Structures are given as C-alpha cells and as structure tokens.
C-alpha cells in the first residue's frame, strides 16, 4: 500500500502483537540459537501440533489500553489512559510486568490521586524508570496522529505516566518516530530513514532533563543519538555477528538497550540474510532475527514488529502466525479504527 495505507496500519499493530506473543518464549534467555527460533516459528505453521494460543504480555496489554484510550477520547487524555493502565493491571496482573512499574500501576488506581504523573516521578528514589515499558506501547501514537510534533509530544506524555526518566520516555518518542516514518514509506531509503531519526532525536534530546539524566547514568550527552550512530555504523558493514549487535546496541530491558536494537533488526532484515530461511519475507526475517538476539525478546520483537509491519503491510504476515496469537484479531480491527482517526485528523476533522 501507499503511505499511511490501511494495510500498513494493520501490519504495524498486528506485527507488534505477534512479536510480543512469539517473543515471550525466549524473554530473558542469554543465548538463543537461530535453530531454536526457527523451530519455534515453524511450530506455528503446524496446526496439527495443537500449539494452542500464545498469550500476549504486558507489552500488548498496555498498548491495547493506549489504543482504546486514543480511540475513545479521539486523542490523548492522560486521566483516561492512566485509568485504563491501572484497571488492566488489576484485572490481569500476571502478564509479566516489570517489577518497578507495578508500584506505579497500583498507585494509579487510587481515586485520591490528583496528578497522574506523580507515581512515575516517585520511582527509583525520584530518578524515574528508564525501562522500555513506555517504548513498548508507543506505536499507537504514530497510528493516531499524522502530525510529527503530535506524535513526539503524545508519545512522550503517554510514556511519562509510568516512566519519568528521559532515558525511558525518549525511547518511546524514538519508537513512535520510527513507526511514523515507516508508515510514510521511509524505509524504502534506509540511509535517509536513519539520518532522519538522528536529526529528529538531536532535537528531542537537546534539553536539560536529558543532559542531567545522561550525566547521572554516565551516558553520552545525547544517548539515543549516540546509539543511532552505532546503528548506522553497523548498517554500513557487510557482515555483523549477533554478538556484535548485542555488545554495540544491547538486548536488555532499558529503553536505551532495546529501542535502537529493534530499529537495527528492521534495517538489517530489509534484505535476505544467510542465517535466515530463503523463503522468509522481510517481516518474518525481522521477527526471527529479533528473537535470536535473546534478552528482552518479546519487547524487541514487538517494537521491531511495529516498525516492520508499517513498512511491509498486513499481507506480509503469515496467516498461521496470526491465528496463534492472542489479541491479533483485535489488533486487526483496531488498526482500521486508528486509520480512520488518523485520516480524519489529517483532514482537519
Ligand atoms: N519484566 C519483564 N520481564 C521479566 C520478568 C517477567 C515476569 N516477572 C515473569 O517472570 O513472568 N518484562 C516486561 O518488562 C519490561 C518493561 O518494563 P517497564 O515497564 O519499563 O518496567 P520498570 O519496572 O519501570 O523497569 C524495568 C526494570 O528496569 C530497571 N530500572 C528501570 N529504571 C531504573 C532506574 N532508574 N534505576 C535502576 N533500575 C532501573 C529495574 O530493574 C526495573 O524493574 C519489558 O521487557 C516487558 O516485557
Ligand atoms: Mg512483556
Ligand atoms: Mg519484555
């Protein structure tokens, strides 16, 4: 489809769910042989094995809250979104949430709470979380708002409901920007895509909160920009090992160690790779490669899935994969509603 087509919206939302569901198998594993990844993915094709449904985790649970809130309120409403996060957590606390964010979600359910951003500010002795929980649910912001400044502003505010450290919420901004650009077809020119992300993040990270957090955490002045430069260097190499990707970009639970990694997975898998089956298309390659990195596999595959899905569209997603993933059908339907909201907004309606 063309820029911002329905197929791209569906691709983004459904592939994010798939990444989460299939990635759950390996979350936290230090080493994941590609053979095990392919075995896991092949088993999704085999209906006779009765694999059952792969359940989604906190990544999708929170993204669904974001989607429902944006659709119901026809825009960003922090009170409504916070309420939905709290309600979802209390209804299904066993979705594998981060150990810190649970405190925020419990506080958000209090009727006495006047500032919905306060519980997030209190995390980690007032430093706030730098986890990737804001980024893992950021894709819907790119699917609701056509305007780039809105995408940046609302992805940031949406993340700040749980992640007040700039290394947490700026990861969400980067993820939403990547989905926004991919939706416009920007991955057709990968070098320009990464340059554009760097240019945007130069501006996003040009503030005192970022400088101060970066100093405290002993990171570069503009941590995400620095990582995106590493992504560009790795892209330019003809061969790169999984070990090098992990050591340069990371595969962990921090937004800084997972959002640039997810972006690299998408870029690296734009073309066929020796380690991946020849019959795999780009979307399948991206998901498989994300899982083979180990570490925070559900979240890296979820974020890479959203960016790749916005590029390849829904037609690139195997039906058999969709059938085994909890929430994939809902994502397919909600993508259509987001597509309408996006195009209403772009017409000024
Ligand atoms: N949590 C997981 N997976 C591991 C456990 C799964 C579960 N217990 C099970 O066994 O089933 N996955 C999910 O969490 C990640 C998103 O986490 P989020 O929402 O960012 O949470 P949190 O708690 O805010 O941050 C995560 C951890 O990062 C460290 N951290 C963050 N900020 C910190 C700071 N300022 N100082 C020190 N440490 C900080 C802490 O260890 C936090 O617990 C996704 O992977 C999702 O899939
Ligand atoms: Mg998860
Ligand atoms: Mg995870």
When pLDDT is averaged across residues 323-340 and rounded to a whole number, the result is 97
Q: What is the Å distance from ligand 1's center to 6 Cα? A: 33
Q: Is 133 in the pocket of ligand 1 (CB under 6 A)?
A: yes
Residue 49, pLDDT score: 57
Q: What is the Å distance from ligand 1's center to 322 Cα? A: 27
Tokens 């936290």, located at residue: 28
Closest to 68 (Cα-Cα) out of 90, 84, 82, 56? 84
Residue 339, pLDDT score: 98
Q: Is 200 in the pocket of ligand 1 (CB under 6 A)?
A: no
Q: How far apart are CA 166 and CA 130, in angstroms?
A: 7
Residue 48, pLDDT score: 56
Q: What is the Å distance from ligand 2's center to 216 Cα? A: 27
Write the residue with the smallest CA distance to atom 16 of ligand 1.
133
SS3 325: strand
pLDDT (tens digit per residue) in 161-209? 999 999 999 999 999 999 999 999 999 999 999 999 999 999 999 999 9
Ligand 1 atom closest to Cα of 102? 23
Tokens 């969400």, located at residue: 172
Q: What is the Å distance from ligand 3's center to 61 Cα? A: 12
Spell out the residues 6+ positions from residue 15 whose beta carbon is closer than 8 angstroms to its own: 283, 287, 305, 306, 308, 309, 317
Q: Is 124 in the pocket of ligand 1 (CB under 6 A)?
A: yes
pLDDT (tens digit per residue) in 244-291? 999 999 999 999 999 999 999 999 999 999 999 999 999 999 999 999
pLDDT (tens digit per residue) in 18-70? 999 999 999 999 999 999 999 999 999 876 555 579 999 999 999 999 999 99
ipTM: 0.96
Q: How far apart are CA 2 and CA 284, in angstroms?
A: 21
Residue 1, pLDDT score: 83
Q: What is the Å distance from ligand 2's center to 62 Cα? A: 10
Write the residue with the smallest CA distance to atom 2 of ligand 1.
98
Write the residue with the smallest CA distance to atom 8 of ligand 1.
96
Write the residue with the smallest CA distance to atom 42 of ligand 1.
100
> Which stretches does DSSP call E strand in 184-223?
none
pTM over cut 0.95: yes
Q: 240 — phi, psi (to 5°)?
A: -145, 130
pLDDT (tens digit per residue) in 59-117? 999 999 999 999 999 999 999 999 999 999 999 999 999 999 999 999 999 999 999 99
């Amino acid at each position: 489809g063309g820029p911002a087509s329905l197929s791209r919206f569906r691709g983004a939302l459904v592939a994010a769910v798939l990444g989460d569901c299939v990635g759950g198998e390996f979350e936290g594993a230090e080493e994941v042989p590609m053979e095990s990844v392919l075995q896991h993915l092949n088993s999704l094709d085999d209906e006779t094995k009765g694999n059952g449904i792969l359940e989604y985790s906190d990544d999708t649970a929170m993204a669904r809250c974001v989607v429902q809130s944006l659709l119901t309120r026809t825009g960003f409403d922090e009170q409504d979104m916070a309420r939905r996060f709290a309600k979802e957590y209390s209804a299904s606390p066993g979705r594998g949430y981060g150990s810190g964010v649970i405190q925020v979600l419990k506080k958000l359910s209090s009727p006495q709470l006047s500032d919905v951003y306060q519980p997030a500010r209190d995390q980690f002795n007032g430093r706030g979380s730098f986890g990737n929980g804001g980024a893992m649910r950021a894709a819907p912001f790119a699917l609701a708002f056509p305007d780039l400044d809105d995408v940046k502003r609302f992805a940031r505010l949406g993340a700040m409901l749980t992640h007040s450290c700039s290394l947490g919420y700026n990861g969400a901004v980067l993820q939403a920007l990547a989905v926004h650009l991919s939706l416009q077809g920007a991955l057709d020119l990968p070098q320009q895509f990464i340059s554009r992300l760097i240019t945007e993040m130069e501006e996003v990270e040009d503030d005192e909160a970022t400088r101060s957090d970066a100093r405290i955490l002993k990171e570069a002045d503009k941590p995400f920009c620095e990582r995106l430069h590493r992504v560009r260097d790795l892209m330019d190499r003809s061969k790169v090992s999984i070990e090098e990707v992990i050591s340069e970009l990371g595969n962990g639970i921090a937004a800084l160690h997972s959002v640039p990694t997810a972006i690299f997975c998408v870029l690296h898998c734009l073309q066929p790779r020796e380690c991946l089956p020849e019959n795999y298309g780009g979307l399948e390659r991206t998901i498989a490669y994300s899982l083979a990195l180990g570490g925070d596999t559900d979240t890296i595959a979820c974020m890479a899935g959203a960016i790749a899905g916005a590029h390849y569209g829904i037609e690139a997603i195997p039906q058999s994969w969709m059938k085994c993933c909890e929430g994939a059908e809902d994502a397919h339907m909600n993508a259509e509603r987001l597509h309408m909201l996006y195009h209403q907004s772009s017409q000024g309606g």
